[in-house]
Structure formats: structure tokens, C-alpha cells
């Protein structure tokens, strides 16, 4: 499967003219739960394109469990669109009925692993299919974490039968922000569980005189992330790959160009 | 009730007879549309959002003054009242 | 100190992200970047992303007050009433009431009405598509059944009334090239706007007093005849034919579910 792109509102009409230009299209589930013209357009696009439904609000890391209403709405959307892939994040955003609209970090402990396992099982039960769980972009870690992130994800995949969505940019961003070696992270991921790669750009920001990478999906994929992508493909094998762009979304051609480059980089890595 | 029925029947009949009249008033007037963009694209990205301002939400530290199209709306103060 | 349980940790995060203070969580690792600065990245994201979502929904309010003032207003709203669910196009139902009560905006008495128009357009945009009642449908109804016909406003259709010219404020904010150079006078008269969904967007038109009374009566659940009688009692000189034609033309009318039968 050739690389896909994240489908954003400004490209909805134009992409109809480009059937076959991309391997697949990914939508954010929460943008389409309220119905409206955008959902009707995606239903038409669905005829010519493989779809990926990417949740951003299920809050799989919430200790209080999943929001039953939201879960049912996502399940209904998945039922309606019958996408090729369904994915969510290893993160949380909901506590005490408040939704914080951020992919917040989890401490990697046995307790958290139990919570996420229960929530992923409940999600997969509601959807009646396995999902992919994405590694987060991290800005902080917890002193009481006891399990390295790739091992936490591997254990989650073993316990729930879920696949993993390996976001290469997130690994790079987290490695810079938290100070670990991205190669070692890739090494620790279970190759058999990886179902998809994500690629995106990030921003460099100054925080109190220190550089922090922000996962803003707002620029071209940087060379270091392309290098890490080739490493990942060489080590884990090629997988459906998606290019995301959310901040200052450019012309469609720019995204199509990034998706083509992902295809070329993957072939190059496989031949090496 | 009978008067109302007659009024409705006659209104519908005259609209059927002259469908253009039914449309006329609406089309000669402005009808404004608005399209909404996806609002849930910001979770995965820290977006324009990127940044780490120390003054987030500390609105007491400063009072913003409205500076938009309100400057072309007359008959009310644009100065926030304290 | 023992490590916090996940529930307690998530509660602590909520308190920090939504309060004005950003104290350090002892369980957050610092290192090259202090823990407080790391937390601030998340705090900024929560506020900025929700502000952006509110700005997309209340785009006229944002244009009226400008982005800086809007951000202050949205930030205060987010801390007072954060979303309870993740679909951001459904966040902000209470923002018009907040705009009415927020002291900093008291110099802009029309702002809450502008926010109500933005919210109604937002709801209309997400409304399910239903077949609109057509003139042919009405013409096919036996005359004696017409007065009792349970005609309703379709999903997403709303009437927004204001003592201020919020339609002109909307044009000034979104179509400045059509607004001309003259300022909008707030005392130029009350408006009644009909907001409704269309195939690819949501829209509004200005109604006259009779049309607005008719639409409001239908919205209350009055049958077609009763609704016309109520509107005519208030505005005896109005042309009922034009009013009916107008509501039909924008696809605002439908039949209440209990009356819809298979064709």
C-alpha cells in the first residue's frame, strides 16, 4: 500500500479529483461525529479511497475508564465508514467528566498498564475489531515510571491483541525532549505488532533557554526523521505509512509530495 | 378555522400558480453561508498552540482592549468597563 | 513520598491545567528542562487548542473583538467551563451566556447576540439532512387537513432575534467588502434572523415580523393553521402567501415525525 495523507477540511473538495493519488486517507474521528456536510463528503470519498479512522479523544489512559457515550459514537462512525484502519493514542485527556483536549502523558506503571489494557479491550469489543495504538510525543516523564515506553506498548499489544502505530516523528520528538536514544527505542518495539507508521513535521521552541521540540505537524518532515524512518523500515519492515499536517495546512500538492517521498524512502530502506 | 383553511388553500394555490413569486423575495435578498473547518485537528498537534507562554490565562495581569470590527460599530462603548 | 495512584495524578493534572497557578508536580521528572516548564507546555496546549476551537465556532465574535481580546475571553471561559466531551464542534453552548455576563465585555452589549448567531450557525452546520417540505407536498394535502397539519422547523433551523443589527455585524466581520465604509449603527433596529442548514454549509436570512412570528409558532409546536392565526393576530396586514413561500424556499419546513408516512 502506498503512503497516505491526513485528510483536512481545506482539501476535502480537491481530494475528490485525486482518486488514486494516495494510498489511503486518515480522518480524525472527532471531526465527523457531529455529522454535517464534511461527513457526507467523506462517505463519498470512501468509495474511491481506503480510510483510516484516527481517534484523538477516547482517552485510553483514563483511570475512570472510557466515556460510554463517546465510545458508542466512535463505534457508530467506524461501523458506517468501514475503514481499513482504526487507531488511537497511548495518552489520556479525560478526568472527572472534564475533557482536557490534550494527549496527556501516562506514568508507565503496572497500574497504568492495567488501566490501558482494560480500556483498549473495551474499545476493541465495542468496535468488534482490533485497533492500533500510537506512541505519544512526550514533553515530560514521571519519576515513578517503572516500564520503558516501548516495553509498555509491547505488553499492551500482547495482552489485548492490539497492533501498534509507530509514529516516527513522535519517537524523535520524545527522544530529544526526554533524552533517550531513538535507535534503542525502535530496537525494543515488537516488529510483528507494528501495523502502521506516521510521519510529520515538528517545531523547535525555546523554553527557559532550553530547546523543546513541539509535535505541531506544521512543517516538512525533517531529514533526521526521514533517516529514522529508513532505520525503522529496515529494522521492522515496510508498513502503510501516513503523512500528517495540522498546523498551517499547505496546498494538497505539498502533502502528496511528502507521501511520494515516504514511498521512495521506504523502497530505499528495503533495498539497503 | 374555515377562514384559516381558505387562507391556506389560497396561499398555496397562488404560490403554485406563480412559483417564481415564492422564490423572489429570498433570492433578491442576501443569504449568508458559513462553512466550518475541522476543530479536532489540534489534539495531536500542539499546533499554533506551540509555545509555552508563562502568562496563559493570567488575564488579571493585563486587560485586553477589543480591536476588531467593533471599531466600525457605533452607538456603544468599546472600552471595557471595570 | 509514595508514588501517586493514576486517579490522583490525573485529578492533580486537571487542577493544574485549569487553574491560574502552575505549581510543580513532584512526580514529574525535570532534568535539562524544569518540571514546571514541561507542565506549562501542556497547560498552554489545553488553553490554546480550546481557544482555537472556540474561535472557529464563534468566528464572528472573534472578528468583532479581535484575536487578543477573544483569547482572553476564551481563556476565562475554558477555565470556568471546560469541555465535558471531546467533540469540539459541540463545545461552547454556554459561551453566549458567558459573553453576556463577562464584565470585560460589558461595553459591547450586542456581543452575546452575535455569539448566539454563531452558535446557531454551528448547530445548523451539523444538523442531519432531512427532506424539506415542498410546495407540491402542501398542494397535495386535502384542504380540510391543512390547518391541522403538524408542520415543524427542520433540524438545525433556528430563529435568532436581537435588538441590534447582528446581521450587518456579521457581514462587516466576514464580508467587509460588502459592508461599505459606513459604520454600523447599533440603534438601526431589531433583527429576526432565520438560521438554516444547506447542502454544503449553514446560512441565515433576515425575516420580517410576521415571518418570524409564524416560524416561532411552528417551532412551539403549533399546527399550520394555528401558527398562521397567531402570527396574523399580531401582524394583521402581513402577506401570508409571501411568508409561506419564503420559509419553503429555504427548506426550513418539515413535517413532525409522527405524521411522516411512507410515500
Mean pLDDT taken over chain A: 95
Q: What chain B residue is nearest to C207 in terms of C-alpha separation?
A: B26
The reply to whether C86 and C143 lie within a common domain is no
The reply to whether C181 and C239 lie within a common domain is yes
The reply to whether C7 and C42 lie within a common domain is yes
pLDDT given for residue A150 in this prediction: 98
Q: What is the torsion angle, in degrees rounded to the nearest 10, for the CA atoms of residue C105, residue C109, residue C115 and residue C116? A: 140
- Contacts of B15 by beta carbon, 8 Å cutoff, 6+ apart: B21, B22, C135, C241, C244, C245, C248
Query: Please, what are the domains in chain A?
Result: 4-271 (3.20.20.150)
The C-alpha atoms of residue A201 and residue A222 are separated, in whole angstroms, by 6
Containing structural domain, residue C6: 1-108
Percent of chain C with pLDDT over 70: 95
Read off the pLDDT of each residue in C146-151 and give the average, rounded to a whole number: 96
The C-alpha atoms of residue A246 and residue B49 are separated, in whole angstroms, by 11
The C-alpha atoms of residue A8 and residue A23 are separated, in whole angstroms, by 16
The reply to whether C146 and C260 lie within a common domain is yes
C-beta atoms of A207 and B52 within 8 A: yes
The reply to whether C101 and C150 lie within a common domain is no
Host H or E run for residue C101: helix C95-101
The reply to whether C161 and C263 lie within a common domain is yes
Domain total for chain C?
2
Pairing of strands A241-244, A98-104: unpaired
Among A216, A107, A229, smallest CA distance to C2 is for A107
The reply to whether C263 and C141 lie within a common domain is yes
Structural domain ending residue among the three candidates C56, C74, C108: C108
- Which pTM does this prediction carry? 0.93
The C-alpha atoms of residue C47 and residue C24 are separated, in whole angstroms, by 18
Pairing of strands A98-104, A92-95: antiparallel
Within a domain: residue C113?
Answer: no
Q: Confidence band (pLDDT; 50, 70, 90) for C56?
A: very high
The C-alpha atoms of residue C126 and residue A252 are separated, in whole angstroms, by 25
Q: Dihedral of CA A197/A202/A206/A208: which sign?
A: negative
Within a domain: residue C115?
Answer: no
What is the domain-level CATH number for residue C144?
3.90.930
Q: Which residues of A touch C33 (CB under 8 A)?
A: 177, 207-208, 210, 212
Q: Which residue of C1, C2, C10 is the best one to mutate when testing the A interface, meaning the one whose CB has the most A CBs within 10 A?
A: C10
In this prediction the ipTM stands at 0.95
- Contacts of C146 by beta carbon, 8 Å cutoff, 6+ apart: B5, B8, B9, B12, C138, C224, C225
**How far off is chain B from C1, nearest CA to CA, in Å?**
29
The reply to whether C91 and C184 lie within a common domain is no
The reply to whether C146 and C193 lie within a common domain is yes
Compute the half-sphere exposure of residue A106: CA atoms within 13 Å on the CB side of its CA: 31
Within a domain: residue C59?
Answer: yes
The reply to whether C65 and C33 lie within a common domain is yes
The reply to whether C102 and C161 lie within a common domain is no
Within a domain: residue C198?
Answer: yes
Size of interface A-C (CB pairs under 8 A): 137
Q: Dihedral of CA C118/B49/C175/A40: which sign?
A: negative
Q: Confidence band (pLDDT; 50, 70, 90) for A20?
A: confident
Percent of chain C with pLDDT over 90: 77
pLDDT given for residue C20 in this prediction: 62
**How far off is chain C from A44, nearest CA to CA, in Å?**
14
The reply to whether C209 and C241 lie within a common domain is yes
Read off the pLDDT of each residue in A170-188 and give the average, rounded to a whole number: 97
**How far off is chain B from C140, nearest CA to CA, in Å?**
10
Q: How far is CA C255 from CA C135, C149, C222, in A?
A: 13, 8, 12
pLDDT given for residue B57 in this prediction: 47
Q: Which residues of C touch A43 (CB under 8 A)?
A: none
Within a domain: residue C96?
Answer: yes
C-beta atoms of A140 and C45 within 8 A: no
C-beta atoms of B52 and A212 within 8 A: yes
Chains in contact with B, where contact requires at least 3 CB pairs less than 8 Å apart? A, C
Structural domain ending residue among the three candidates C75, C108, C141: C108
* pLDDT at residue B59 greater than cutoff 60: no
Within a domain: residue C123?
Answer: no
Q: Which residues of B touch A201 (CB under 8 A)?
A: none
Within a domain: residue C192?
Answer: yes
Amino acid at each position: 500500500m502506498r503512503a497516505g495523507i491526513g485528510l483536512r477540511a481545506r482539501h476535502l473538495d480537491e481530494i475528490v479529483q485525486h482518486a488514486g493519488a494516495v494510498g489511503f486517507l486518515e480522518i480524525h474521528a472527532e471531526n465527523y461525529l457531529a455529522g454535517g456536510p464534511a461527513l457526507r463528503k467523506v462517505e463519498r470519498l470512501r468509495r474511491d479511497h481506503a480510510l483510516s479512522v484516527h481517534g484523538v479523544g477516547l482517552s485510553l489512559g483514563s483511570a475512570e475508564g472510557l466515556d460510554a457515550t463517546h465510545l458508542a459514537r466512535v463505534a457508530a462512525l467506524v461501523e458506517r465508514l468501514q475503514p481499513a484502519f482504526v487507531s488511537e493514542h497511548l495518552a489520556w485527556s479525560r478526568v472527572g467528566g472534564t475533557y482536557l483536549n490534550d494527549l496527556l502523558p501516562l506514568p508507565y506503571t503496572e497500574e497504568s498498564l492495567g488501566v490501558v489494557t482494560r480500556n483498549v479491550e473495551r474499545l476493541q469489543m465495542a468496535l468488534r475489531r482490533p485497533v492500533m495504538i500510537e506512541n505519544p510525543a512526550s514533553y515530560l516523564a514521571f519519576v515513578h515510571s517503572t516500564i520503558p515506553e516501548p516495553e509498555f506498548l509491547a505488553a499492551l499489544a500482547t495482552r489485548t491483541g492490539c497492533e501498534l502505530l509507530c509514529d516516527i516523528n513522535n519517537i524523535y520528538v520524545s527522544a530529544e525532549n526526554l533524552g533517550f536514544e531513538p535507535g534503542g527505542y525502535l530496537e525494543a518495539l515488537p516488529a510483528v505488532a507494528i501495523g502502521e507508521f506516521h510521519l510529520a513535521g515538528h517545531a523547535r521552541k525555546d523554553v527557559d533557554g532550553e530547546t523543546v521540540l513541539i509535535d505541531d505537524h506544521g512543517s516538512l518532515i525533517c531529514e533526521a526523521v526521514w533517516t529514522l524512518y529508513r532505520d525503522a523500515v529496515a529494522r521492522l519492515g515496510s508498513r502503510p505509512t501516513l503523512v500528517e499536517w495540522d498546523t498551517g495546512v499547505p496546498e494538497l500538492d505539498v502533502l502528496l509530495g511528502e507521501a511520494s517521498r515516504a514511498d521512495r524512502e521506504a523502497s530505499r530502506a528495503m533495498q539497503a | 378555522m374555515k377562514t384559516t383553511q381558505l387562507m391556506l388553500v389560497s396561499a398555496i394555490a397562488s404560490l403554485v400558480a406563480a412559483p417564481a413569486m415564492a422564490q423572489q423575495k429570498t433570492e433578491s435578498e442576501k443569504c449568508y453561508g458559513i462553512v466550518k473547518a475541522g476543530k479536532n485537528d489540534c489534539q495531536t498537534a500542539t499546533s499554533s498552540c506551540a509555545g509555552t507562554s508563562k502568562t496563559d490565562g493570567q488575564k488579571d495581569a493585563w486587560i485586553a482592549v477589543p480591536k476588531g470590527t467593533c471599531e466600525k460599530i457605533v452607538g456603544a462603548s468599546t472600552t471595557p468597563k471595570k | 513520598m509514595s508514588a501517586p495512584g493514576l486517579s490522583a495524578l490525573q485529578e492533580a493534572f486537571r487542577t493544574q491545567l485549569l487553574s491560574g497557578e502552575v505549581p510543580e508536580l513532584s512526580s514529574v521528572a525535570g532534568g535539562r528542562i524544569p518540571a514546571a516548564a514541561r507542565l506549562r507546555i501542556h497547560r498552554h496546549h489545553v488553553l490554546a487548542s480550546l481557544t482555537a476551537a472556540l474561535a472557529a465556532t464563534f468566528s464572528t465574535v472573534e472578528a468583532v473583538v479581535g484575536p487578543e481580546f477573544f483569547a482572553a475571553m476564551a481563556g476565562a471561559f475554558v477555565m470556568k467551563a471546560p469541555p465535558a466531551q471531546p467533540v469540539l464542534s459541540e463545545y461552547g453552548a454556554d459561551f453566549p451566556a458567558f459573553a453576556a455576563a463577562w464584565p470585560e465585555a460589558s461595553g459591547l452589549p450586542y456581543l452575546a447576540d452575535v455569539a448566539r448567531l454563531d452558535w446557531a450557525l454551528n448547530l445548523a452546520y451539523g444538523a442531519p439532512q432531512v427532506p424539506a417540505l415542498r410546495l407540491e407536498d402542501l398542494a397535495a394535502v386535502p384542504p380540510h387537513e391543512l390547518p391541522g397539519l403538524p408542520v415543524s422547523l427542520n433540524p438545525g433551523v433556528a430563529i435568532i432575534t436581537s435588538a441590534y443589527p447582528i446581521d450587518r455585524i456579521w457581514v462587516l466581520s466576514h464580508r467587509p467588502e460588502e459592508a461599505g465604509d459606513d459604520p454600523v449603527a447599533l440603534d438601526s433596529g431589531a433583527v429576526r434572523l432565520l438560521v438554516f442548514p444547506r447542502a454544503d454549509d449553514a446560512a441565515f436570512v433576515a425575516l420580517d415580523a410576521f415571518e418570524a412570528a409564524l416560524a416561532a409558532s411552528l417551532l412551539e409546536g403549533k399546527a399550520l393553521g394555528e401558527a398562521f392565526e397567531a402570527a396574523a393576530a399580531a401582524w394583521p396586514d402581513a402577506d401570508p402567501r409571501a411568508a409561506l413561500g419564503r420559509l419553503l424556499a429555504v427548506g426550513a419546513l418539515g413535517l413532525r415525525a409522527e405524521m411522516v408516512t411512507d410515500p
